[in-house]
């Protein structure tokens, strides 16, 4: 019986270590990306996003989107990526937040 309890405790420890809080995820990202500007680092740590961030910056701040879609602009020369987040997230409290990326950078945010 002690053997099973010990195994359960060890497994629980590994599971708990795998659970990273959003703040921990943000801090780890900023620590690993020393080339980030002070403004971008600060925004990520606060769980905020800003135009000009790349996809990885946004994921660090808000996590993975609920939905990702891709489209071409009217002139079909530029791919756009559209991400959807369900609220509450960041400063938004209701609805869906739609982010648009072009060339890997956040260019628009709509709620």
**pTM exceeding the 0.85 threshold for the entire prediction:** no
Which pLDDT score is estimated for 41?
96
**Higher pLDDT residue, 16 or 90?**
90
pLDDT band at 92 (very low <50, low <70, confident <90, very high): confident
Share of the chain above pLDDT 90, in %: 59
For 54, the domain range is 2-110
Residue 23, phi then psi, degrees to nearest 5? -65, -40
Which pLDDT score is estimated for 3?
64
The count of domains in the chain is 1
CATH for 88? 3.30.1450.10
């Amino acid at each position: 019986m002690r053997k099973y309890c010990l195994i359960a405790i060890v497994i629980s420890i590994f599971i708990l270590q795998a659970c990273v809080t959003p703040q921990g995820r943000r801090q780890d990202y900023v620590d690993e990306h020393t080339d980030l500007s002070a403004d971008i680092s600060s925004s990520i740590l606060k769980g905020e996003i800003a135009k000009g961030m790349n996809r990885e910056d946004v994921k660090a701040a808000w996590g993975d989107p609920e939905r990702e879609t891709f489209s071409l602009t009217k002139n079909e020369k530029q791919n756009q990526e559209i991400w959807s987040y369900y609220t509450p997230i960041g400063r938004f409290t209701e609805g869906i937040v739609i982010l648009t990326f072009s060339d890997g950078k956040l260019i628009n945010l709509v709620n």
